[in-house]
Structure 1
Amino acid sequence: MKPVVPLILTFSSLACANAVADVDYKIDLTSPEHHLAKVEVNFPVTESDSLVVNLPVWRTGKYQVLPLADAVRKFTATDDSGSLLPWTRTASGEWTVALSEPTSVTVNYQLYANKLGQRVNHIDASHAFLDASGTFVYSPEFRDEPIRVSLKVPNNWNSYSGMDRGAKEHSFAADNYDILVDSPIETGISEHREFSADGRQYELVVWGEGNYDIDKMVTDLTKLSGQADVIWDDYPFERYVYMVHATSGASGATEHLNSTIIQRPRFSYRERKDYLGFIKTASHEFIHTWNVKAYRPDGLVPYNYQDEEITELLWIAEGSTSYFQSQLLLRAGVMTAKEFFEDLARRVAQSEKTPGREIQSIASASANQWASSGGDYAVNHSTNIYSEGYLTSLALDFSLLEETKLKRSYRDVHRKLYNDYRIPAGYTIADVKGILDEVSGTSYEAWWQQYINSPVSLNFNALLAQAGLKTTYGKDAKIEPFTGVTLKSGSLVLSQVLRNGPAWNAGIVLGDEIVAINGLKVTASGFESRIKDFKAGDTIKVTLFSNDRLKELSLELGEQQSGKLSITSVDKPSRAQKAFFKAWLGVDWPFDKQGQFKSVQ
């Protein structure tokens, strides 16, 4: 790879070099038992008649407005002589401090930090995780100024961050607030490892006890971290920190500038399927270091921490990241081909069971992400930027491979986005179309209209056949009766009714509670078995409570394939299909002559 181009320079204005003084953050974590901390922020002298102080209303990586400022109490502001300054609350995440003369301003407040699952902040007797968006206020006037952060912590704690270390222990420094807000701090009692890959330094910090094998994690993260040159020409960092929380329930992950925070239940590492969940998440967040943190849609540049930022290109930011995550693991030998195609098959099956893909385009889903709430309505009327964005990326990759006779791929698109639209630039829809035209040598305007601006249902067998693959439910698959409903766990109350499915067409709705089939009582544990007593096409009488009123409806059962969808080799794949496969994934053909995965897989 080429020498690193330091990304932090792109976040700072030239004014930083002539800054009057740093913005100085101090946080006292010495009484962490009740999730409380004391925060002090010292702002440089301002000539204005007021100083606006903000706490973001959303955090990067989660496109949703959050009540972050609700955690702030005992807010005070003082001048350079220590005298109290008057202030007013002017927005949900904003305080305006009145000034009668030029002065520096010191802001103090109490912080309640108990948003572990939101990955905003969490303080307890064993650690503190601090994402600046929910922890440290800023002033737009000094957003570009250098910052310093110092922590006062219990004696046995250690502190880590993607930021540069400061002059003292438990302190950090950054060029501006944008780096601080994208460089969370993990401090406390944890396990720590250092390793290197492709000339870059890495750290792994794990908080919490669990059934993880930290040495295996280091081995596989080392392999993963060495795969970046499959897509990009250089690195936007010199050092990268993987932060992991082994928790009692919280799960998820968030990408940051040169670090990530990954949360998983503490006993979800030993079983292979659980471990794959962890390492795929790590790959996803690692890829985000380029795709989102180094380059992102212009609607997200620069970050506006006080308002939503709308873009139709979130499917590239998130869905394409999901698309590449398992590819890097496959190339690294961390994931087998069998595991790779099990993951892809699961995504295909889920897409085909999501009627919303017929209603909403991926562009509309991207623009609507800030307002999306999931649930039954989303499944029936919406498209997911992660899962459907993955499959859209797959279709685009296959199209580029076909158009260029395997010479170019979707990786080239992301390489060019990184090279030409690095922060502080941002790419537009026109920019992406232009790159597609340049890479392919043909216009992608019609493709974009069909696959991005319009709802689409992909023909997966036709698509995968180009790489010598097909979907199958296996030789023993059979047609089974299908209702189109999902029950709440341990209950006969419906948590989902698929649009245009048998139950939907019969007039059964979300929240109805089934009590009998053909006049006989049915239980939650026996519902699926009872349905299998019938055949597809049979009409059954369903007795249920709807808004507390007893009803009986006729339901004609639909049909579905039994078993689990899988992806395997077509019969007698051609040399051209195998070449397409290799150009796509970068690994050799993994099937034997019988269409089974080779033993090495």
Structure 2
Amino acid sequence: MKKTALFFIALFTLLMTNYTDSIAAENVKISYEVKFTEPQAHYADIEMTVSGLAQNALDLKMPVWTPGSYLVREFAKNLESFGVEANGKTIPFVKTSKNTWHINTTNINSVKVKYRMYCFEISVRTAFIDVTHAFLSTSGMFLYPNGMLMHPSTIHITPYKNWDKVSTSLEMVNNDPFTRTAPNYDILFDSPIEVGNQDVFGFKAAGVDYEVAMYGGGNYDKERLKKDMAHVVELETAVFGENPNKHYTFIVHNYNRGGGGLEHLSSTVLGASRNSYNTESGYQNFLSLVAHEHFHLWNVKRLRPIALGPFDYDNENYTTDLWIAEGFTAYYDNMIVNRTKLYSTDNYLGVLAADINIVENSQGAKIQPLSQSSYDAWIKAYRPDENSANTTISYYNKGSVAAFLLDLEIISDSKTKYSLDDVMKYMYNEYYKTKKRGYTDAEFKQGLEKFAGKNLDSFYQKYVNGLDQIDYNKYLGYAGYKLTDEFANTNIPTLGIKTSTVAGVTKVIGVSRGTAGWIDGINVNDELKAIDDQPITDPKNLLGDKKVGDKVTVTVIRDGQTLNLPVTLLRNNDFKYKIESIDSPSETQLAVRKKWLIYNKNTPSI
């Protein structure tokens, strides 16, 4: 037989096999039942049914990470009591990797898999269960059949005792709030579920129904939140020109001290402090958090780096563009709150200056480029240690700074015709809606250049891929502002260390690169005992009336031994920047300032 004939027979056989497998997979039905028999011990009992099988083997997998949080968290570590039944009998299985369970399904068309999940980690990224509520971070709860990520599934929840509510963006089945369905696993893993007696209220904004589910109580004012959250939604929708959701869910966990958020396609989970809603700073911080995570429904969940979808749930998904995905969102969260006019422009400029201070006072900004910070998120950003401040820079803070620089560059270069808003809207339409894929590094840069009207190679070389000192006054000058350092004329000595005092014991928890402590050998975990034989009585005023250049003896206990370290005090080189107007800004500068800080939804776009 000729090789060409053999080739076509092999190709036909392969295609028919794939076609047969596809037909077989289409007949598979997947459902879950979730019960809480021991919530006080933080357990969920899950029964997964996979029926309509026509294959000889079934591999079930647990994701190792959750999209939006770039760290392999090994959710399988929380799974126990795995067992399989078929035709009323227990059948064997083999665990073939850290997150894979292999089941022989020869002559078996339906299996029931029972397992338990231990859920006792309070964060917006991880599941938590106790007698008051259950938060199901779905990527860390539900197994999925390998090769069937595009399959729909149904989840039925049996609530514990008096729990009476379910809050999630997943659609109901037959109008039953305790039975939900997901069209595929990307949607399921992107749709957290809150079960309990949460305080639920809602509002409508941008044509979308919004639900807010508050757990943990708090001094929040529902009517004020409805109004202000709706305003945030409307302003963000105006940036992109549309709101792609039919409904959206805010799950808010209120704790004594809480923070953080995690974005999802049609929902978000927020951590908040329950008694901070009635302070100006607390309320502004909460609105900024709302604005940040909600902005992600466009930037990241739909307009995304090409590496972030379709997801590989077994491994890291690397991208150099988290400075856009997260940093630009961090810029917009405060800008959107500024656009609500709930706070003064001076307040906004103070928040922006705070970001600049974080970047410029970070020694890591001199070591790690912004693009590398994005790429190394998996091994550095979510695994900080005592030396992280000396070696890394946050793609949130420096990414936000990069966004404000680019915003002013575009406004100035286009003579106030365009802004960063136009870039975001264009990229959303071009890549999410038209090309239906993520963007590459080069493509986002081209989008920025389209509205800046010039090549941005220098900007990228200096500030994205390089370590150049940022020329803030060049960009702020476009709007008639300048950056001033309140510490510029000070000569205050410092050891360059951070300390923590617990039960009267003061320990070093950080040593800043290039400072006196760094040069003369003070270590993290050293217990500070005395300076020049004077016992430490006030950890907040270690140096008293000492001066720059003084030579002191720092007495520490290290590994049970007393050491006397000679240290020469150096000047505190930290910055305390503020943004203020230049004298007599020109009409051109005032026009840029107005475009930047005074929102007008009728601005033109390409």
For 1:438, give the aligned amino acid: K
* Residue 145 (str. 1) matches residue 155 (str. 2): no
Q: What is the aligned length? A: 570
Q: Which residue of 2 aligns with 1:62?
A: 69
Q: Which residue of 1 aligns with 2:405?
A: 395
Residue 476 (structure 1) shift? 12
Alignment of 1:238-257 (within 5 A): 238-257=246-265
- Which residue, 459, 475, 478 being the options, matches 2:471? 459
The answer on whether the counterparts of 1:540 and 1:557 sit within 8 Å (CA) in structure 2 is no
- Which residue, 101, 121, 128 being the options, matches 2:134? 128
- Which residue, 362, 386, 410 being the options, matches 2:370? 362
The answer on whether the counterparts of 1:481 and 1:532 sit within 8 Å (CA) in structure 2 is no
* Structure 2 residue matching 1:107: 3-state secondary structure: strand
- Say which is worse superposed, 470-479 or 306-315, in terms of deviation: 470-479
Alignment of 1:520-531 (within 5 A): 520-523=534-537, 526-531=538-543
The answer on whether the counterparts of 2:29 and 2:52 sit within 8 Å (CA) in structure 1 is no
* Residue 446 (str. 1) matches residue 458 (str. 2): yes
* Residue 555 (str. 1) matches residue 561 (str. 2): no
For 2:418, give the aligned amino acid: R
Name the CA shift for 1:353/1:476 in 2 (closer, same or farther; >3 Å).
closer
Q: Distance in 1 between matches of 2:67 and 2:135?
A: 15
The answer on whether the counterparts of 1:138 and 1:177 sit within 8 Å (CA) in structure 2 is yes
The answer on whether the counterparts of 1:537 and 1:559 sit within 8 Å (CA) in structure 2 is no
Q: Distance in 2 between matches of 1:561 and 1:253?
A: 30
Name the CA shift for 1:160/1:308 in 2 (closer, same or farther; >3 Å).
same
* Structure 1 residue matching 2:467: 3-state secondary structure: coil
For 1:395, give the aligned amino acid: L
Residue 527 (structure 1) shift? 4.2
- Which residue, 485, 503, 518 being the options, matches 2:517? 503
The answer on whether the counterparts of 1:40 and 1:107 sit within 8 Å (CA) in structure 2 is yes
The answer on whether the counterparts of 2:496 and 2:515 sit within 8 Å (CA) in structure 1 is yes
Residue 18 (structure 1) shift? 9.3
- Which residue, 410, 423, 441 being the options, matches 1:429? 441
* Residue 95 (str. 1) matches residue 101 (str. 2): yes
* Structure 1 residue matching 2:50: 3-state secondary structure: strand
Q: Distance in 1 between matches of 2:92 and 2:430?
A: 47
Q: What percentage of aligned pairs have identical amino acids?
A: 29
The answer on whether the counterparts of 1:127 and 1:157 sit within 8 Å (CA) in structure 2 is no
- Say which is worse superposed, 338-347 or 531-540, in terms of deviation: 531-540
Q: Which residue of 1 aligns with 2:588?
A: 576
Name the CA shift for 1:528/1:70 in 2 (closer, same or farther; >3 Å).
closer
The answer on whether the counterparts of 1:357 and 1:457 sit within 8 Å (CA) in structure 2 is no
Q: Which residue of 1 aligns with 2:60?
A: 53
- Say which is worse superposed, 311-320 or 389-398, in terms of deviation: 389-398
The answer on whether the counterparts of 1:26 and 1:40 sit within 8 Å (CA) in structure 2 is yes
Q: Distance in 1 between matches of 2:164 and 2:457?
A: 56
Q: Which residue of 2 aligns with 1:223?
A: 231
1:449-494 deviations in Å (ceiling 9; x for gaps): 2221112332333332222223345699844223321112344322
Residue 84 (structure 1) shift? 2.4
* Residue 384 (str. 1) matches residue 398 (str. 2): no
1:103-140 deviations in Å (ceiling 9; x for gaps): 12221112222222253212222221112111111113
Alpha-carbon RMSD across the aligned residues, in angstroms, is 2.4
Q: Distance in 2 between matches of 1:17 and 1:320?
A: 44
Residue 325 (structure 1) shift? 0.5
1:549-583 deviations in Å (ceiling 9; x for gaps): 41231313214579x54322222222222211122
1:419-451 deviations in Å (ceiling 9; x for gaps): 122185111112112222322332223322222
* Residue 300 (str. 1) matches residue 308 (str. 2): yes
Q: Distance in 1 between matches of 2:82 and 2:241?
A: 47
Q: Distance in 2 between matches of 1:304 and 1:59?
A: 10
TM-score normalized by the length of structure 1: 0.89
Bigger RCO of structures 1 and 2 (CA < 8 A, at least 6 apart): 1
Name the CA shift for 1:56/1:395 in 2 (closer, same or farther; >3 Å).
same
* Structure 1 residue matching 2:528: 3-state secondary structure: strand
Q: Distance in 1 between matches of 2:244 and 2:517?
A: 52
* Residue 165 (str. 1) matches residue 180 (str. 2): no
For 1:119, give the aligned amino acid: R
Q: Which residue of 1 aligns with 2:14?
A: none
- Say which is worse superposed, 256-265 or 467-476, in terms of deviation: 467-476
For 1:70, give the aligned amino acid: K
* Residue 468 (str. 1) matches residue 480 (str. 2): yes
Q: Distance in 2 between matches of 1:337 and 1:124?
A: 43
The answer on whether the counterparts of 1:364 and 1:453 sit within 8 Å (CA) in structure 2 is yes
* Residue 207 (str. 1) matches residue 207 (str. 2): no
For 2:393, give the aligned amino acid: T
Q: Which residue of 1 aligns with 2:548?
A: 536
The answer on whether the counterparts of 2:24 and 2:54 sit within 8 Å (CA) in structure 1 is no
Q: Distance in 1 between matches of 2:488 and 2:357?
A: 18
- Say which is worse superposed, 282-291 or 573-582, in terms of deviation: 573-582
Name the CA shift for 1:47/1:381 in 2 (closer, same or farther; >3 Å).
same
The answer on whether the counterparts of 1:61 and 1:254 sit within 8 Å (CA) in structure 2 is yes
